[in-house]
Structure 1
Amino acid sequence: MFRNYVVIAFRNLWKHKLFSFINIVGLASGIMVCLLALIDIKGAFDYGNFHPNADRTYRILTDVTSNDNQTAAFATTPLPLADGLKREYGFVEKTTRVIREYAEFTVDQKKLGDYYCAVDPGFFTILGYKLATGQPATEPHTAVLTPQTAEKFFGLSNPIGKVIHTKEFGSITITGVFKELPTRSHLRFGLVISMPTLLTENRKQLQTDWKQYTNGYTYVLLKKGATVAQLEKVLPTIAARATKDIRFKSEKGYTFRAQSMTRLSPSREDLEMGTWEQTWGKLATEMAVGLLTLLLAVFNYVNLTLARSLSRAREVGIRKVSGAVRWQLMGQFMSESVVLSLFALGVAYLLLMLIEPMPFVQQWLIGGVKLNTKLWAVFVGFSVLTGLLAGFVPARVLSGFRPAQVLRSQTGLKVFKGITLRKSLIVAQFAIALIAMIALVSMARQQHYMATADYGFRSERILNIPLNNVPYQRLANELNRIPGVERVSATSELFGSHGGDLRRVRRQKSGGDSVVAFTTAIDPHFIDNMDLTLLAGQNLPEMAADTIGEGSLGRFVLVNEEAVKAFRMGNPREVVGQSLWLNDSTEVQIAGVIKDFRFTTFNWPIKPLILKYQPKRFRYANVRIAEGTTDATLAGVQRVWKSLNPREPFAGEWYSDFLYKRHSHEDDVNFMGLLTALAFSIACLGLLGMVTYTTETRVKEVGIRKVMGAEVRQIIWLLSWDFVKLLLIAGAIAIPLGYLAGMAFLINFAYHVSIGFETLGGCIGLLLGLGGLTIGFRTYRAALSNPADSLRSE
């Protein structure tokens, strides 16, 4: 019997090729998005499965209670906790700490930035990071590299025994290289350095400081036979003892709890200072998007199957008269749906291979996840389930027809007040697709706005050159000799990005309220070079910066208007000459006040900013090039760079290009555009099938009307109007919901675009355009048909 079901299913699919094509392509698009989500879900559960003894390894979390009784969970802990657990409790076998930070490393006179983890010796055994070559980094000033960092730092040569340099820790010797990880890890880093390397003077106090709970992560390996209940029992006692004499400013205190490594990913809660594990919310969102796309395709299948209900109803009537029972008829229809869904799975896999190279897909969805037999079994099972669910409603409806109903043609299925289910599904399809498009357009417009907006400083014809260990003043002297270079300045941070270093600033050395401000190092030429406006006071003093130390110029700073407001200093003129204290140790004098400009991302409103002369922090040279001389001047700049640093490739970048790349997020927008295009494609394919079927059932009506003198345009309007009404209804439903969806994204930005006619009108126009083309294509062909052909059988 099952074999007969399959044979008949193939015959029906082949007989109705257009409808089969529409259903297969639609289901394949939805299944492809679901496959991406399933792959990422598998990857989330695979996180860290290379850790040995994961069942008795725990990460300690810190639950912090604020003064207003709000509790926040931190993935980090105070650094002394690990030693205390190992020293005082016999059920603890080993502990290790991990401190994750970013630093610049000098390798063969090249400055390369990367994230590093400072770790205890137990890191290599507790967490199971294996080495391909060399030895673990356990001695002071030693490090182990990942394969990617080893290649970035040293190319294809053997890195073991070679030395890298950092400003804070000095020289570090490479002792080993990690193996490639079999799966993704919740810790991501370019290299691991030994914890004793961090024992510099300014870091020693952190090793015994119980007040700072955000510095590092603590992992505990319990002895065999020990239980997590033993660990959980002592953690509150440790926290109470450690915080007994501590006076917090904004917290009441904290306590600890254990998180099993087997439950690290997917994360069941959002942790402050969290690592890279997946969260249930992200996975649920991905799966919801996939199921929503698949739902649109299922709508198509239900729609087109019910549209052909009259011809299938006659089949049902004949088979029932022959003795078939309802469950047999349902089995037949659902087997057709399953066969079609399995075809769609094959097409979905081909689509998956097509989009796999997309950066967004590689980074977030299928990076590092391998397809295996178990995953394929899940895919096939999911596809079969999709086919069964998609076919259930049509099978239930069609198998319920009675022969008497068929003869009276009473096969129309009503939802309410004469609106058919088929029309409702078309409206739902286009409404969902339009909501997604409005949200996407709002996102894309915001990204473009941030990438091209006026930040308040000059970005056109400004060339940013990373210094990479080249003395700034020497480079500036050479560049100023090039015809076409108008001015050269230096900065520690490119504005329009992260904003610079955060420091706590006070008006008095001790006491009084402090303000967190961004601090950026600049030279005296920066203000004029970037067209910043000085509202009061004067620029940093014009001195021969190359002949003096930081001390002369470094005692003067410039502040922005927001800093004046934050310190409640009055108007900008009253501020000039007043003093500020940076980190309670450095007194500076305000030389001038500059007009506010956007130096961070658009997520935040303008923050307090302090500009200070600090040559040791300079990382970029800003070269202003005269209009009309771009190509010739750029060639000269490259020659100068080559002469000063022949080993390092020229990495200059136009400021406008930097802002565009930083904020456009093209990969994200392209991927969201792909999903929206799939939704519209599925909806349009479904509409095409419905219009095709409707025009075929009205072909004799069209013939009669043409014989009676109806014009082509009148027939097109007659056939199209019912479907145009559905598009208008979908638009009316989608506009308010799409507006809310777009605003839910835009509200995260302090400065954002509005959702007006240009967004809503454009999306509605595209909806009507695509829908109109789909409808017009089929109705125009039907209107041009020869009446003699359609009326020949009458």
Structure 2
Amino acid sequence: MNKPVAHPPLLFLKFFRWYCDPKMLDYIEGDLMEAYHARLKKYGKRKADAKFIVDVLLLFRPGIIRSKAKYNTLKRSHMINSYFKTGWRNLLRSKLHSGLNIVGLTFGIVCFLLIGLYVFDELTFDQQHVNAERIYRVIEHKNVRGEATTIAAAGYKLAEESKHSIPEVENITRIMRTGRANLVDPENPVPFQETVTIADDHFLEIFDFPLVEGDRRTALKEPASIIIDEDLALRIFNRTDVMGKNLQFSHLPFPLKITGILKNHPRNSSFNFNCVMSESSYYAADYFKETMASDWASNSFSVYALLRPDSRPDSVSKKMTRLVLTNFKPDEGTKLSYSLQPLKELHLKSAGIFDGARNTNVEGIPQGNPLYVTIFSFTALFVLLIAAINYTNLTTARASGRVKEIGVRKAIGAMRSNLIGQFLFESWLTTGIAFILAIGVVKLVLPPFNHFANKELSLFSVDYHFWIYAMTAIVVIGFLSGSYSALLLSRLKPVSLLKGLKLQTTGDLSVRTGLVIFQFTISIVMIIGTLVLLLQVRYLNHTDLGFNKDLMVVIDVNTRKARSNFETIKDQMSKIASVKSVSVTSRVPGEWKTLRTVKVSVEGSTDAPGTSYLFGADKEFMQTFEVTLLQGRNFREAYDSSSIIINETAARMLNITGVSEQMVEIPAASRDGYFETLEVPFKPRVIGIVKDFHFQSLRDKIQPLILAYNNNPIHVIDYYSVRIAPVDIPGTLNKLKAIMVANDADDPFEYHFLDDQLALFYVEDARRQTLLGWAALATIFIACLGLFGLATYSTEQRVKEIGIRKVLGATVVGLVSLLSRDFLKLVLIANGIAFPIAWWATNRWLQEYAYHIDVEWWVFAAAGTLALGIALMTISYQAIKTAVANPVNSLRSE
């Protein structure tokens, strides 16, 4: 089958053929097409299309434009000049009306641009690589006797053999990640705890991580070589020009030579390494030689494949599955297959995928959520749409003031198309002014917005696609804003217009009424959404977790020396007067790192083993974390190494209702969902049951948990947890540091407060709640601007009626009620529409959390009352001003 020929953007090609002088058309078009196809091969279609568009626009100049096009252009320029003058005069003639429109549109565009930048950043994660469209992550799907796991990891041989055996694979790279260990400058031996990424020499061929210094073709080729980023270079050496210097890595007996300096990662990258060591550094190690010879199905490597153009990922993944199963036989009852995940989907579509080799979404990169991207996309559009509705409402309300102008224009021969053009141009002029002001406002607020959102958003260095989308939206909004009033005024006959017809038709009023209701419906939905999100975030941060997280210092244990000497260290820490209790554990409640899971069953049971989390703990664990023991006893001394304590959920899973030292069997353990059989099954006895506590995020239901004694065979200790008194906290931390340094000077003192770490689980929720809150305030503000303008116009139209009513004895309160009643009815109707929409949307969103608030009636009442109150205050100013005015002034002209 012949490959389809790629074409440049047809719209711009037709535009070029329209304006180009026929004498030069063939010659210039030939050059354009030749340049386009050369760029197509070099850069790909997207960049070739963009450069073609630029070329077509730059060629639109005297000498190339055909004479007719020149004439039409000149004619249009005169018309546009006329539109501009008329539009500018109308803006200046009604300053209040114009100001309300411009302020409303500016607010709407500011929100649209800020939220748009945020959403665009989320959608363009990992697309800074030239071949991002062709890069895929290998995903392993394993089903062991009905229990399925999805892991972003694969074996060494799959990566090595795929590039030789599968024609569609152009290149492939392996990445793995070490545990945290020391990186030290031998000339200044201050240890820095780092997690080192290890990659083969194809890594920099596939990914375009920019090097400030070094040759990307050779930087990772030789053994004992490492590339580091600018940030790590500054931390270790206090400078970045460190090419050729050595680093000592505590996992290796030989120094590593720095062969490249990486530019710091952009924030919208799923990768967060700060150093990469050459895989060849391990080729001489016996265990790695075995890996190179026989590892077909481990989960030690993240594997990324660059496919050839027009390759089908599903076909390649099937070939990978066949390749592995031809050379490796899974255990009985195990099904194994592979798929390919596009690189551009890593950030938003990795829910439920274990990152087996732990190379993405680590150390501070929050996983994206496509639901929030959708919510914020619609929020940005709705805010802009509400601003456009304001313009439409105010323009149609003020239309009566321009009927004679339109009548004169029609009487002297203006066509309907000219009048429509005039009104649309005025709309675009107003929108253009608002757009320029909005860019200035965004420029001012972007630095604090970036700090708040943890982004590196830039208005002027963003991808050009963002501006195409933004400008398209602005043009469309300008068109929608002005189209209704343009069609309304241009359709009337000159005679009616010159008679001074008032444009208060039923259709006109019903459209304005519907638009006001729509505005406030969206605003009320957003207010309710913000309140619910605020309450959920508050619930997440203040709910009882089943343990005490306050004043808990968690100290990382990173070296063997600090682990083996833990009893001495604990004893020394306990002697500090401000220390209440000390515990050592392999993980802590509210853990943010990977938890070990095990298969477990009661010894002798015929039921299939269940799955439970496990972490090691000592006898001070329950006292330190204030966990409640429901049955049985606590750990005592070393002879409890074959004892376990379980939580209520694990007890239900194992059908244990009372503690009687039941023997259980743990035959397999896992770190990332892939279970490996233990050489010797662990057979402990159950000595206690603790009350369930939240050892993970509140997004997850409490799962079965086993607390094994600290010297268990599955997971060694990783933390000292120290409960301290709320006195002289800096002094206490200095004493704890002195103890750690005295016992292991090579291990940096790394600590955090547990409550601060737990708050990081929900920091994205807090950010989203704040962002949605500001958007909700913007929508209600813009809606109120429109309401104020409509109320102003309405009272101006009824000023004589108000004067007559006052003369006849009407009170100020009665008049304010009369003027406000119609508008408040619209807000009440909006409440009635918004409530069910908000109830459905918020309940659906809350399903993301295993533990969440219930949306109660008062949230809707509060949001509705708030909307009514704000609307009443907006209307009342103008209503009171008119009601207290002297009726003589309004009736004098009569």
Give the structure-1-normalised TM-score. Answer: 0.85
Q: Give the distance between the partners of 1:70 and 1:404, measured in 2 at CA.
A: 80
* Residues 624 and 98 of structure 1: CA distance in aligned 2, closer, same or farther (over 3 Å): closer
Could you say which residue in structure 2 is the equivalent of 1:59? 136
Cα pair distance change 1:514/1:643, threshold 3 Å: closer
Report the CA distance shift for 1:537/1:159 in structure 2 as closer, same or farther (over 3 A). Answer: farther
Equivalence for 2:13: none
Residue by residue, what CA displacement relative to the aligned partner does 1:586-612 show, whole Å, maximum 9, x if unpaired?
Answer: 343333221111111111111111223
Compared CA separation, residues 660 and 75, structure 1 to 2 (3 A) = closer
Match of 2:546 among 451, 456, 473: 456
Note the C-alpha offset of 1:443. 1.4
> 1:336: Cα distance to partner?
0.8
Contact kept in structure 1, 2:596 and 2:615, CA below 8 Å = no
Per-residue CA deviation, residues 130-176 of structure 1 (Å, 9 max, x unaligned), is 43335623445543222233334554374854435466x67772523
Taking the aligned partners of 1:339 and 1:133, their CA distance within structure 2 comes to 49
Answer with 652-661 or 39-48: which moved more: 39-48
Rounded Cα–Cα distance in structure 2 between residues aligned with 1:582 and 1:54: 38
Quote the Cα distance in structure 1 between the aligned partners of 2:156 and 2:418. Answer: 68
Alignment of 1:315-394 (within 5 A): 315-357=405-447, 358-359=449-450, 363=454, 366=457, 370-371=461-462, 379-380=470-471, 382-394=473-485
Residue in structure 2 matched with residue 559 of structure 1 by the alignment? 646
Question: Which of the numbers 174, 195, 201 marks the counterpart of 1:121?
Answer: 201
Partner of 2:321: 239
Q: CA deviation at 1:209?
A: 4.2
Please name the residue that 1:412 is paired with.
504
- Structure-1 separation of matches of 2:459 and 2:168: 36
Does structure 1 retain, via aligned residues, the 8 Å contact 2:424–2:486? yes
Q: Do the aligned partners of 2:228 and 2:274 also contact (CA within 8 Å) in 1? A: yes
Shift of 1:506: 2.7
1:289 is matched with 379
Determine the structure 1 residue equivalent to 2:685: 589
Match of 2:629 in 1: 534
- Separation in 2 of the partners of 1:564 and 1:201? 43
What's 1:425 paired with?
515
Tell me which residue corresponds to 1:83. Answer: 160
Question: Are positions 1:17 and 2:107 aligned together?
Answer: no
- Residues 483 and 633 of structure 1 are in contact (CA less than 8 Å); yes or no, is this contact kept in structure 2? no
- Give me the whole-angstrom Cα distance separating, in 1, the residues matched to 2:244 and 2:596: 36
- Counterpart of 1:734 in structure 2 is 834
Aligned residues: 771
What displacement does 1:643 show? Answer: 6.6
**Superposed counterparts of 1:626-637, under 5 Å:** 626=725, 630-632=726-728, 635-637=731-733
Tell me, in whole angstroms, the C-alpha distance in 1 between the residues paired with 2:318 and 2:843. Answer: 43
Tell me the distance in 2 between the aligned counterparts of 1:49 and 1:122.
Answer: 19
Q: In the alignment, what sits opposite 1:190?
A: 274
State the Cα distance separating 1:302 from its structure 2 match: 0.7
Judging changes above 3 Å, is the alpha-carbon distance between structure 1 residues 4 and 231 closer, same or farther for their aligned structure 2 residues?
closer
**Aligned 8 A contact 1:44 1:265 in 2:** no
In 1, Cα distance between equivalents of 2:827 and 2:312: 64
Structure 1: distance between partners of 2:352 and 2:139: 10
Number of the residue aligned with 1:624: 723
Query: Which residue of 2 is the match for residue 546 of structure 1?
Result: none
Using the TM superposition, give the Cα deviation of residue 123 of structure 1 relative to its aligned residue in structure 2, in angstroms: 1.4
In structure 2, which of residues 556, 577, 584 is the aligned counterpart of residue 483 of structure 1?
577
Tell me, which stretches of 5 or more residues in structure 2 are unaligned?
1-78, 362-366, 670-677
**Secondary structure in structure 2 of the residue aligned to 1:483:** coil
Question: Within 5 A, what are the aligned runs for 1:468-507?
Answer: 472-498=566-592, 501-507=595-601
* Structure 2 equivalent of residue 310 of structure 1: 400
Residues 598-629 of structure 1: CA deviation (Å, up to 9, x unaligned): 11111111111122333794444333345xxx
- CA shift, 1:450, in A, is 0.9
Cα distance between partner residues in 2 of 1:681 and 1:414: 28
Quote how far apart the aligned CAs of 1:541 are.
Answer: 1.1
Secondary structure of the residue aligned to 1:611 is strand
1:453 CA drift (Å): 0.9
Residue 488 of structure 2 is matched in structure 1 by: 397
What is the match of residue 782 of structure 1? Answer: 882
Aligned partner letter, 1:336: E
Contact 1:139 1:196 (8 Å CA) reproduced: yes
Q: Which moved more, 1:195-204 or 1:139-148?
A: 195-204
Structure 1 residues 623 and 256 mapped into 2: Cα distance closer, same or farther (>3 Å)?
closer
Contact kept, 8 Å, 1:65 with 1:252, in 2: the verdict is yes
User: 1:30 offset after TM fit, Å?
Assistant: 2.5
Query: Which residue of 209, 223, 247 maps to 1:163?
Result: 247
Tell me by how many angstroms 1:64 deviates: 5.2
Matches for 1:18-33 after TM superposition, within 5 Å: 18-33=96-111
| Matched letter for residue 324 of structure 2 | A
Letter in 2 for 1:175: I
The 1:650/1:779 distance shift into structure 2, 3 A limit, reads farther
Q: Does 1:513 align with 2:608?
A: yes
Q: Which residue of 2 aligns with 1:663?
A: 762
One of 517, 520, 525 as aligned partner of 1:435: 525
**1:181 deviation in Å?**
6.6
Residue type at the aligned position of 2:504: G
Displacement after TM superposition at 1:662 (Å): 3.6
Q: Contact 2:192 / 2:236 at 8 angstroms: preserved in 1?
A: no
Displacement after TM superposition at 1:93 (Å):
6.1
Cα distance change, pair 525–43 in 1 and its aligned pair in 2 (3 A): closer
SS class of match (1:392): helix
State the distance in 1 between where 2:535 and 2:276 align. 41
Is 1:752 matched with 2:834? Answer: no
* Contact map agreement 1:706 1:787 (CA 8 A) in 2: yes
Task: State the 1:477 CA deviation.
Answer: 3.2
From the superposition, tell whether residues 740 and 354 of structure 1 become closer, same or farther in structure 2 (CA, over 3 Å).
Answer: farther
Q: CA RMSD in A?
A: 4.1
Pair 766,403 (structure 1): closer, same or farther in 2 beyond 3 Å: same
- 1:129–1:499 CA distance, 2 compared to 1 (3 A): closer
Alignment match, 1:112: 193
* Greater alpha carbon shift after TM alignment, 575-584 vs 188-197: 575-584
SS of the residue aligned with 2:684?
strand
Q: 1:549 is matched with which residue? A: none
Moved more, 440-449 or 66-75: 66-75
CA distance in 2, matches of 1:485, 1:234: 58
Secondary structure in 2 aligned to 1:504? strand
- Deviation of residue 295 (structure 1)? 0.7
Gaps of 5+ in 1: 544-551
Distance 1:59 1:754, change over 3 A: closer
CA distance in 1, matches of 2:140, 2:642: 41
> Deviation digits for residues 763-792 of structure 1, max 9, x if unmatched?
122212211211222212222212222222
Separation in structure 1 between the aligned mates of residue 813 and residue 767 of structure 2, nearest angstrom:
44
Tell me the amino acid that sits aligned with residue 830 of structure 2: A
Shift of 1:448: 0.9
Structure 1: distance between partners of 2:843 and 2:815: 42
Offset, 1:19: 2.0
The one-character-per-residue Cα deviations of 1:461-482 (angstroms, maximum 9, x if unpaired) are 4344445666654553344333
Q: Determine the structure 2 residue equivalent to 1:132.
A: 212
Query: Per chain length, whose mean CA-contact separation is higher, i.e. which structure has more relative contact order (CA < 8 Å, sep 6+)?
Result: 1
User: Displacement of 1:574 after TM fit?
Assistant: 3.6
State the distance in 2 between where 1:519 and 1:291 align.
Answer: 47
Residue correspondence of structure 1 range 694-705 to structure 2 within 5 A? 694-705=794-805
* TM-score, length basis structure 2: 0.76
Once structures 1 and 2 are overlaid, which stretch shifts more, 441-450 or 476-485? Answer: 476-485
